[in-house]
Amino acid sequence: MIRKWMSSCNEYHSDCAEHNPRRISHFWLIDCETRMLAKSRGDEAYTALSYVWGNPAPKASESAIGKQLPSQLPQTIEDAMTVTRKLDLQYIWIDRYCILQTANPHKSEQLRQMDKVYHNACITLVAAVGTDPSHGLPGVGPVPRVPQPSVKVADYLLASSMSNPKLLIRRSPWMTRAWTYQEAICSRRLLAFTEQQVYYECG
């Protein structure tokens, strides 16, 4: 379904359609198939993850530049890589691993390029749940979505309406993150995971 949304978006929305990416220097991506950090050629299609880091923030040693990622990552990270593969994409950008957090002469330059990182991404995956990356994306991995309340009366199944996803996102911990506003407005497409449903937005 999401692939169909993206295909329709590419076909009918000129502002969202694929384009020549803006150049980003010292740019690395996670290869979801090999779990290796790969230096970008500049033309790869990739997803980007927007999430809450939690406390404490990752240490410098967690950067995987030039290395293979551990076999088990925080659940939100694992789920984001799963979603990327299901979208038939190979690469994902996650700040926690793609930017060396300390002792990096290019860090300030990379942070100034965040608008390009999210704009170039085919779609930004938003973890609008949880207070850290251990929570997971509901409905992707082991964390289930909250089911829609329903009750059977005689031969009828009565179900309540789902909560407005925009309202859930506005109330989520994700909205408290300092970089959230920039990541959202710079992205051409957003795929937000809430406790109840998945919300797609473009344009």
* pLDDT in the model for residue 61: 43
Residue 67 binned pLDDT confidence (cut-offs 50, 70, 90) = confident
Number of H helices, E strands in the chain: 7, 9
Residue 58 binned pLDDT confidence (cut-offs 50, 70, 90) = low
Residue of higher predicted confidence among 56 and 117: 117
Residue of higher predicted confidence among 23 and 28: 28
Collect all residues with Cβ–Cβ distance below 8 Å to 121 and sequence separation of at least 6: 46, 47, 48, 93, 187, 188
Q: What type of residue sits at position 170?
A: R
Q: Is residue 64's pLDDT more than 60?
A: no
Span 148-159, mean pLDDT?
68
Q: Record the tokens describing residue 9, joined without a space.
A: 């978006």
* pLDDT in the model for residue 104: 65
Give me the domain span that covers residue 132: 2-202
Indicate the average pLDDT of the chain. 83
Residue of higher predicted confidence among 67 and 48: 48
* pLDDT in the model for residue 60: 44
User: Measured between alpha carbons, how far is 105 from 130 in angstroms, rounded to an integer?
Assistant: 32
Residue 10 binned pLDDT confidence (cut-offs 50, 70, 90) = confident
- pTM across the whole model: 0.85
User: Measured between alpha carbons, how far is 34 from 191 in angstroms, rounded to an integer?
Assistant: 24
* pLDDT in the model for residue 128: 93
Model pLDDT for residues 78-110, shown as the tens digit of each residue: 999 999 999 999 999 999 888 876 666 667 777
Q: Is residue 127's pLDDT more than 80?
A: yes
SS3 141: coil
> Residues of the chain with pLDDT > 70: what percent?
82
Total structural domains within the chain: 1
